Amino acid sequence: MGGNSPERPVSLKTGAAVSEALKSLGYEVTVINYESDLAQWIPELKASDLVFLALHGGDGESGQVQAFLEIL
């Protein structure tokens, strides 16, 4: 969630809502507040069984983040 576009505030709300919903269902959730450098999160991303992308605008909609995740 987050991102580096003007839609960041909406993305943070989306991410928080998704995170809370998953936690209420009993899932273990790691929140990543993305700003511009996904490389710093590689260990957490590699350890994850699933990534729910809640980015709006910018890198979240350009396919850049999705491509990075697929490489991992």
> Taking the alpha carbons of 67, 18, 34, 13 in that order, is the dihedral positive or negative?
positive
Q: 51: closest CA among 26, 68, 37? A: 68
Q: What is the pLDDT of residues 4-54, one digit of tens each?
A: 899 999 999 999 999 999 999 999 999 999 887 888 889 988 888 899 999
Beta strand residue intervals within 17-68, DSSP E: none
pTM for the predicted model, two decimal places: 0.83
CA angle, 60 as apex, 56 and 61 as ends, to 5°?
A: 85
